[in-house]
């Protein structure tokens, strides 16, 4: 991952509603969730939800597919894994243990 990509991903996640949407989609797994269910769960109006989903989509954090009359959103686990790899390599000298709390 390039630094500009990391900045885009972190920027998209730096907003509370977008982080909540992304966390919800992570929990939904590879099946994803329809926009309506996301909005209901997070108590978010459709226009607001659409705005935030588009920002996450532009950052490559979610993808969308149409199923019948619904649009299903899925978190990009590969994009998040790439970000985690970038942060580990560039912020912790590649030492994952440096990020973990002492036990």
pLDDT for 94: 58
Domain range for residue 58?
3-93
- Whether 54 is in a domain gets the answer yes
42 is written with which tokens?
A: 């997070």
In which band, very low, low, confident or very high, does the pLDDT at 1 lie, cut at 50, 70 and 90?
A: confident
User: Would 103 be classed as within a structural domain?
Assistant: no
With a cut of 80, say whether residue 9 has pLDDT above it. Answer: yes
Q: Where does the pLDDT of residue 25 fall: very low under 50, low under 70, confident under 90, or very high at 90 and above?
A: very high
The answer to whether position 98 is within a domain reads no
Mean pLDDT of all residues in 6-24: 95
How many structural domains does the chain have? 1
Contact of 11 with 59, CB cutoff 8 Å: yes
Question: Is 87's pLDDT higher than 90?
Answer: no
- Tokens of residue 64, six digits: 């969308």
Check which CATH number belongs to the domain holding 13 and give it. Answer: 1.10.10.10
Rounded average pLDDT over 18-23: 96
pLDDT, tens digit (0-9, with 9 covering 90-100), for 52-81: 999 999 999 999 999 999 999 999 999 999
Give the pLDDT confidence score for residue 86 in this predicted structure.
Answer: 85
Structure tokens that stand for 72 in this block: 């299903």
pTM of the model: 0.83
In a domain, 24, yes or no: yes
Average pLDDT over residues 88-93: 70
- Biggest CA pair distance of the chain: 50
């Amino acid at each position: 991952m390039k630094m500009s990509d990391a900045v885009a991903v972190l920027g998209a996640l730096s907003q509370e509603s977008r982080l909540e949407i992304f966390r919800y989609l992570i929990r939904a797994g590879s099946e994803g969730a329809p926009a309506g269910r996301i909005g209901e769960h997070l108590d978010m109006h459709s226009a607001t939800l659409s705005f935030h989903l588009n920002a996450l989509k532009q950052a490559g954090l979610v993808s969308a597919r149409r199923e019948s009359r619904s649009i299903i959103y899925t978190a990009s686990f590969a994009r998040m894994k790439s970000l985690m790899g970038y942060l580990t390599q560039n912020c912790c000298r590649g030492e994952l243990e440096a990020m973990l709390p002492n036990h």
